[in-house]
Structure 1
Amino acid sequence: MRIVVIGGSGHIGTFLVPRLVRAGHEVITISRGTRGPYVSSPEWESVRLVTADRERDSTFDDRVVGLAPDVVVDLVCFTLASASALVERLRGEVGHLVHCGSIWRYGVSHRIPITEETGTPPFGEYGIEKDRIARMLKEETASGGLVTTSLHPGHIVGPGWVPINPLGNLDLSVWRTLAAGEPLRIPGLGAEMMHHVHADDVAQAFEVAVSHRSEAAGEDFNAVAPSAITVRGYAEAAAAWFGKRAVLESVSWAEFEETTPKEHAETSWEHLVRSQCASIEKARTRLGYAPRYEPMEAVEESVRWLILHGELTL
């Protein structure tokens, strides 16, 4: 098939595009052209690269249709308006649209693991929009329109970018603290959960959604690692990479905010207040999704890459 991947040089596309090429598909990627994939691969030599800016190009959706794809994979859509416009243009022109959502389409955890049917209502603009998009896509297919599928990754990690750390933020000093065996202040008891997933496992989920069109049609699927991790378990495992024992100091949220830069404190709250653990049973049974990485394996690969490339000094 001819597959157009919107946002093909990002976290997921870095691994998805080579997978699609190896599976025998003709692949065209659309991106702003500001960077290449995070990991090089010989398969990219056979990929057609199209430069376009979705936010600034009023003819973007027409350009997608003009590429005559059988399947469109949309990895960088964040608003209902943008998703709806693309659906309207693809209807009757394309066989399958596969959209990238987020487990933040769910709110705080009440029952775990969270299935595609048991999540609480989302909060925050990002999560609300991702949930609205997923519901719109499901309704579109149910009404006899465009065949769609939405996949909902957890916290994506992999070589080339900074992973969400044990405090639920992107502060690199957290890794240095754990590597040195120094005390790390954690808000609460450290029982909150995060659900990471390696970018290649997310790519696998998209690949099997494309190859199992009839099973994926009109459905939404969580795409995460086989297990989630708690703040405390995450910190202890990370410290052990460096031959140290995690020294964790439980503090209140107010105390945590006093000693944490505002940006990092807000990011920690966004991740930890949700305390999410999502089920992959639906994707496993219907699509054959079989992630290779447990969360700590995926994060360790990412952290080692940062150290090797001088982006994290210990």
Structure 2
Amino acid sequence: MVVGGSGHIGTFLIPRLVRAGHEVVSVSRGQRSSYTDDPAWRDVRQVTADRAAEDAEGVFGDRVAGLRPDAVIDLICFTLDSATALVERLRGETGHLLHCGSIWRHGPSQKVPITEEGGTPPIGEYGIAKAAIARMLRGETRSGGLVTTSLHPGHIVGPGWHPIGPLGNNDATVWCKLSAGEPIDVPGIGAEFMHHVHADDVAQAFEAAVVHRDAAAGEDFSVVAPSALNVRGFAEIGASWFGQTAKLRTVTWDEFRSGTGGEAAQVSWEHLVRNHYFSIDKARRLLGYAPRYEPEAAVLESVRWLIDHGRLDVANPIE
């Protein structure tokens, strides 16, 4: 069972599971189809459910357990209460619970690459919740309870949605300016890292954790691209796609905020203050994780899709 199966990760994960021979149930609110077409979806049982509403009523765990899944992949759990309720309901009834966390369970970097055990305490409500869920799941399994695994993706990119761009937000203006050779304002010196990952590589990691259940039991894994991009390098690579050279103007954060929309500037701060660059050695060693996409290739695929589908206007075509 994949909870949240019609989203970014599920779009790629569910066809992988079907092709591997699994019987798959996809649970979603039913408000959209997957981001890409795949004939494997014809073999998927679709269940419509509003996770938030059913959590509030205390019945979501009953729905999941009632379908008697061998493994549950939960892609849309965001609070410790929700995760704990599901664990308690599935204990003794399901063989494996896999949770989708986030690299934001770690705070601003002190030493890179960051390992699963080597990060700083999280900041912000979202990261704090994801860290708490990961601790709870690890403790559950290591105390002899339900077998669980948590996987923590970076900034997910792929066809169908706007990626986190060189300025640490998903404001499409940056691509317009880079494609036209126009200057962009960069807060600070542009050395902060962002760690992206293609949605299909995240799907690969979840599939591998299902296959290698014993190795994954009670563990958590960072799931990111093999390398990370900093602001300056990301902008330079992005400009080169359009045959341009990036023109970067260094500004203070106050200047950046005054020249950028308040929400976009805050999103930039949230991404860049963390300065994240992660190791994937543990996932490689225990799961055989082998990401196909370098971060710039994953982002380029996203940008191409947006241009080809009329959702992004640029001054020059991608070369």
Matched with 1:29 is: 26
Which one of the candidate residues 4, 7, 13 is aligned to 1:10?
Answer: 7
The residue aligned with 2:285 is 285
Measured after TM superposition, the shift of residue 312 of structure 1 is: 0.4
Output the amino acid matched with 2:45. R
Within 5 Å, give how 1:160-309 maps onto structure 2: 160-309=160-309
Deviation (angstroms), 1:45: 0.2
Q: Which residue of 1 aligns with 2:119?
A: 119
Considering only aligned residues, what root-mean-square deviation do their CA atoms show, in Å? 0.4
1-structure distance, mates of 2:49, 2:178: 42
- After superposition, residues 68-83 of structure 1 pair within 5 angstroms as 68-83=68-83
For 2:202, the aligned partner's letter is V
**Deviations for 1:216-263, whole angstroms, at most 9, x for unmatched residues?**
000000000000000000000000000000000011101101100000
Matched residue, 1:109: 109
- Distance in 2 between residues matched to 1:303 and 1:292, nearest whole Å: 18
Give the letter aligned to residue 37 of structure 1. S
Q: Which amino acid aligns with 1:27?
A: V
- Report SS of the residue matched to 1:26: coil
Report SS of the residue matched to 1:9: coil
Counterpart of 2:143 in structure 1 is 143
Cα distance in structure 2, aligned partners of 1:60 and 1:122: 28
Partner of 1:130: 130
> In the alignment, residue 111 of structure 1 is paired with which amino acid?
K
Shift of 1:170: 1.1
Match 2:48 to one of 26, 47, 51: 51
For residue 48 of structure 1, what is the amino acid of its counterpart? Answer: R
Structure-2 separation of matches of 1:274 and 1:140:
29
Q: CA deviation digits over 1:189-222, x for unaligned, max 9?
A: 1000000000000000000000000000000000
**1:189 & 1:151 partners in 2: Cα distance?**
32
**Percent of aligned pairs with the same residue?**
68
Distance in 1 (alpha carbons) for counterparts of 2:255 and 2:161? 29
CA–CA distance in structure 2, aligned partners of residues 40 and 248 of structure 1: 38
Aligned counterparts of 1:164 and 1:229: Cα–Cα separation in 2: 11
Aligned partner of 1:98 in structure 2 is 98
Cα drift, residue 56 of structure 1: 1.0
CA distance in 1, matches of 2:35, 2:135: 31
**Inter-partner Cα distance in structure 1 for 2:73 and 2:51:** 14
How many residue pairs were aligned?
311
**What residue identity is the alignment partner of 2:9?**
I
1:20 alignment partner in structure 2: 17
Q: Which ranges of structure 1 fall in alignment gaps of 5 or more residues?
A: none
Work out the CA distance in 1 between the residues paired with 2:32 and 2:40.
17
Helix, strand or coil at the partner of 2:220:
strand
Which sections of structure 2, spanning at least 5 residues, go unmatched? Answer: 315-319
Q: Which runs of 4+ in 1 moved over 4 A?
A: none
SS at match of 2:225: coil
Q: Give the SS at the match of 2:222.
A: strand
Secondary structure at the aligned position of 2:2 is classed as strand
Which residue identity lines up with residue 42 of structure 1 in the other structure? P
Shift, 1:61, TM fit: 1.1
User: Which SS does the other structure have where 1:55 is aligned?
Assistant: helix
User: Matched residue of 2:53: which SS?
Assistant: coil
Aligned partner of 2:261: which letter? P
What is the rounded CA distance, in whole Å, between the counterparts of 2:303 and 2:13 in structure 1?
A: 21
2:284 match: secondary structure: helix
In 2, Cα distance between equivalents of 1:17 and 1:86: 21
The DSSP-based 3-state class of the residue aligned with 2:129 is helix
Report the 3-state secondary structure (helix = DSSP H, G, I; strand = E; otherwise coil) of the residue aligned with 1:16: helix
Q: For 1:50, what is the secondary structure of its paired residue?
A: strand
